[in-house]
């Protein structure tokens, strides 16, 4: 069965198959499709998760062993196989065909890969996964389709964009799908699930902004204290919403706390958490800088900052809330 990313929601309301193969060079869509599959699996009682990275040194027998092994707690399992190259080779091809012929009764297999060449789409292993479950290919959203994609994303989140709002946002993000998704989240955070006017898009999506909250988070993770301090001052001077900065930092700290609590090495934890490959080194570096107790303390500080930014604690009408953000990013960035 072949599905498009925009068909996944409707598909999962009626079906859940034993095998899914998600591929494409549009990383945001690949991530969101796999997130939707995981969420459905958990709702169906698949409580354990095992991640296999099929790099050059991967032993393909591990996949068959994982499929044949029984859960320690008799829970159903999510088996995730990441295929960065999109080419499993002869041994991998044989194993994928063997698994697809007899999928595990107590597991769902989610295979993810980058862009798949046309030759691979005609291969036996690709066709076997298609026959055993579903194949979802994530093609880039072109410039002409982006306004419709943005409008649908806004409506899915309860927003009602005015005529021209989605088109303006598409113009501002210049075809960058990840940037478009981030700006939709920003609009939701600032204005909530309500009507969104063109002027609100103009006010919120400042394409000339010197810094963004996402740049600030990356500077904190990289332990670049001086740059993080400059960014806080820049965001405040530019009138950036403190609620957005608090949200972005809280989300990152919460994720780091979960990785720290896993008990795994930094390298294994970031892979298991599904961190994008181009951010693994950055997140792993931050993860090693503090222990679990410290990450819990940081998350509590984030919660307080969030309340201050929304006027739920004293400090929002003065510079105290921005001072709190400055202290927090400095502490996280330092050892």
Closest CA to 331 of 306, 309, 300: 300
Interatomic CA distance for residues 335 and 294, integer angstroms: 11
Residues in the chain: 335
Interatomic CA distance for residues 232 and 245, integer angstroms: 9
pLDDT of residue 240: 67
Residue 74's Cβ-count burial label (10 Å; 0-12, 13-18, 19+) is exposed
Query: Could you read off the pLDDT tens digit of each residue along the chain, which spans 335 residues?
Result: 899 998 999 999 999 999 999 998 888 899 999 999 999 999 999 888 889 988 878 899 988 888 877 655 557 889 999 988 888 989 999 999 999 999 988 899 999 998 888 788 889 999 999 999 999 998 888 878 889 999 999 999 999 999 999 988 987 776 678 888 989 998 998 889 899 999 888 887 754 344 578 888 989 999 989 888 888 888 887 776 788 888 889 989 999 999 999 989 999 999 888 887 778 899 999 999 999 999 999 999 999 988 888 777 765 555 688 899 999 999 999 87
SS3 141: coil
The first and second tokens of residue 194, run together, are 């309500």
Task: Name beta bridge partners: 109.
Answer: 19, 79
- CB proximity list for 70: less than 8 A, separation 6 or greater: 106
DSSP state, residue 5: G
179 — alpha (psi -120 to 50), left (phi > 0) or beta? alpha
Interatomic CA distance for residues 268 and 210, integer angstroms: 35
Residue 100's Cβ-count burial label (10 Å; 0-12, 13-18, 19+) is buried
- CATH label, 213-333, candidates 3.40.1160.10, 1.20.272.10, 3.40.50.720, 3.30.70.370: 1.20.272.10
The pTM assigned to this predicted structure is: 0.60
DSSP state, residue 278: G
Buried b (16+ CB within 10 A) or exposed e, 303-327: ebbbbbbeeeeebbeeeebbebbbe
Residue 71's Cβ-count burial label (10 Å; 0-12, 13-18, 19+) is middle
pLDDT of residue 57: 84
The first and second tokens of residue 73, run together, are 């707690």
Query: 2-137 belongs to which CATH class?
Result: alpha beta
| Nearest-5° Cα angle at 249, 183 to 180 | 15
Interatomic CA distance for residues 176 and 306, integer angstroms: 28
**Separation of CA 283 from chain center:** 13
Interatomic CA distance for residues 281 and 271, integer angstroms: 11
* Cβ-contact 147, 166 below 8 angstroms: yes
pLDDT of residue 208: 36
Interatomic CA distance for residues 34 and 67, integer angstroms: 19
Domains of the chain, residue spans? 2-137, 146-204, 213-333
What are the backbone angles phi and psi of residue 81, rounded to the nearest 5°? -115, 120
Write the CATH number of the domain with boundaries 146-204.
1.10.8.60
């Amino acid at each position: 069965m072949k599905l498009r990313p925009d068909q996944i929601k409707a598909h999962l309301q009626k079906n859940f198959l034993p095998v899914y193969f998600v591929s494409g060079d549009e990383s945001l869509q690949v991530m969101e499709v796999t997130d939707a599959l995981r969420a459905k699996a958990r709702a169906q009682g698949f409580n354990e998760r095992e991640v296999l990275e099929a790099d050059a040194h991967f032993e393909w027998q591990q996949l068959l062993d994982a499929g044949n092994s029984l859960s320690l707690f008799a829970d159903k399992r999510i088996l995730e196989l990441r295929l960065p190259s999109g080419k499993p080779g002869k041994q991998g091809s044989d194993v994928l065909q063997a698994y697809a012929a007899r999928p595990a009764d107590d597991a769902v297999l989610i295979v993810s890969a980058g862009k798949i060449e046309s030759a691979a789409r005609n291969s036996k292993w690709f066709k076997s996964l298609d026959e055993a479950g579903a194949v979802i290919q994530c093609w880039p959203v072109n410039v002409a389709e982006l306004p419709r994609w943005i409008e649908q994303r806004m409506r899915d989140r309860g927003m009602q964009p005015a005529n021209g709002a989605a088109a303006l946002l598409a113009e501002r993000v210049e075809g960058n799908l990840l940037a478009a998704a981030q700006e939709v989240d920003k609009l939701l955070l600032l204005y909530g699930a309500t009507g969104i006017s063109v002027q609100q898009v103009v006010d919120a999506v400042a394409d000339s902004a010197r810094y963004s909250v996402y740049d600030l988070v990356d500077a904190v993770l990289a332990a670049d204290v001086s740059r993080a301090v400059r960014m806080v001052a820049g965001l405040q001077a530019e009138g950036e919403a403190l609620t957005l900065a608090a949200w972005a930092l809280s989300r990152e700290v919460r994720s780091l706390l979960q990785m720290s609590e896993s008990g795994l090495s930094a390298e294994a934890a970031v892979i298991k958490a599904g961190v994008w490959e181009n951010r693994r080194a950055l997140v792993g570096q931050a993860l090693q800088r503090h222990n679990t107790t410290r990450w819990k303390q940081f998350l509590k500080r984030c919660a307080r900052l969030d309340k201050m930014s929304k006027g739920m604690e004293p400090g929002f009408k003065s510079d105290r809330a921005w001072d709190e953000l400055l202290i927090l990013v400095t502490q996280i960035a330092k050892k």
